Structure formats: C-alpha cells, structure tokens
A and B are shown apart, each in its own frame.
Chain A
C-alpha cells in the first residue's frame, strides 16, 4: 500500500524567503505525482504535475522535482509572498488510485 508523508506539517517563513516542501512515498512504481494548493475552506488547485518519466516541472516561482528511486519529491517556492500562504499537498499514483499526503501548512509573514 502506498504511503505518502509530508514533513513538516507546518512551516512559517518571512516574506521573500526561498523554501522547500518535502514529500516522500513508499512505493516507487508511480504513474505521476501532483502538487496541490488548498486555501482554508476551499477545494484543491493543481499546481504541478510530474509524470513518472520526468524529473521536474516548473511554473513561475514554483519548481517540483521527482526522484522515484529514493521515493521523494520537493516543491521549491522562490521569493515567497504572503499570498503563498496555504496548505500544500502532494499526491502520487495514477488516475485510479491516487494517494495524498496530509499536507504542509505554509504561512508567509509580511
């Protein structure tokens, strides 16, 4: 059974700082990995999708990497802003069996 872990559960940083969120998974036989953002009381918004054959994806200030052999993914956020404050979740698997981590709650202080 695939287990997905995100550490830390919460992170607080000052505005402008670069930061890394971590995601680890137990079964390296994945189809893809996705990073989502969830604002309080809202649904999830997909940020980046990495297929199993890819090593990284970038969108604006966000960069996600994937290392299947070690069962790890990172989400790098450059020059953080207060508007980046949210919970970030990673999910691994395929469309028929996606397993989510519990998320990292990020607070960016002005």
Chain B
C-alpha cells in the first residue's frame, strides 16, 4: 500500500496564478483533510471531508476550495494565489481516529 500520496512535491507560483494539489489514499478511509504548516504555528486545518461528495471548512478556509469526487482523492485548489499562501501543505486521511499523513507539498508564491 502506498498510504497517502501528494502531487506535486514542490511548486512555485506567481501571485494571482491558480493551481490544484492532489491527495490520494489507498486505505479506503472515509475522512480526509488538508492542513497547512507554517513555521512556529503548528498545523492548521484548511478543509476536510467526511466522505465522498462531502466537504467542510476548517480553521483557515479562505482562499482555498476543495473537492472529493472520488473516495480515494481529495483536491485542494487555489484560485488566485497570494504570498500569504506560501506554506507546506499536508493531506491526511483517517479511520476511525488515527490520522495518516502524506509527505507534503512545499508551495512558494512569489
């Protein structure tokens, strides 16, 4: 099993550009999450999903959108990137409580 995978690993964007981060899990987990990790601030929840076709806002949802069209995939979109969105993004899945994390995507917005 690959566990939780994230694509891409690194990305550099210019302000105003858009992009989509892909998260995939092969553990048949119902719950999936997107977090961002910034220095000295720990991880903060952006959006989450409790099952295929569902999404909900987390602690810091502004500027991001998500979709969960298939149970195994959870997409995070940035419609108009801003320098404040420079961060490391982690995807995770869980069932029932233990969370399994992907390796992260390092995003820089210039």
Q: Considering the chains assembled together, what is the distance between the CA atoms of A89 and B40 in angstroms?
A: 12
Interface size on B, residues (CB 8 A): 27
With A95-B50, A96-B50, A99-B42 given, name 15 new contacts (CB 8 A): A34-B99, A42-B103, A43-B101, A44-B90, A44-B92, A95-B31, A95-B94, A95-B96, A95-B99, A96-B48, A98-B33, A98-B99, A100-B44, A102-B40, A102-B41
Chain B residues within CB distance 8 Å of chain A: 4, 31, 33, 35, 40-45, 48, 50, 56, 58-59, 90, 92, 94, 96-104
- 28 A-B pairs within 8 Å (CB atoms) are namely A31-B97, A32-B97, A34-B97, A43-B101, A43-B102, A43-B103, A44-B92, A44-B99, A46-B98, A46-B100, A51-B97, A91-B99, A94-B97, A95-B50, A95-B96, A95-B97, A95-B99, A96-B50, A96-B56, A97-B58, A98-B33, A98-B99, A99-B42, A99-B59, A100-B42, A100-B44, A102-B41, A102-B42
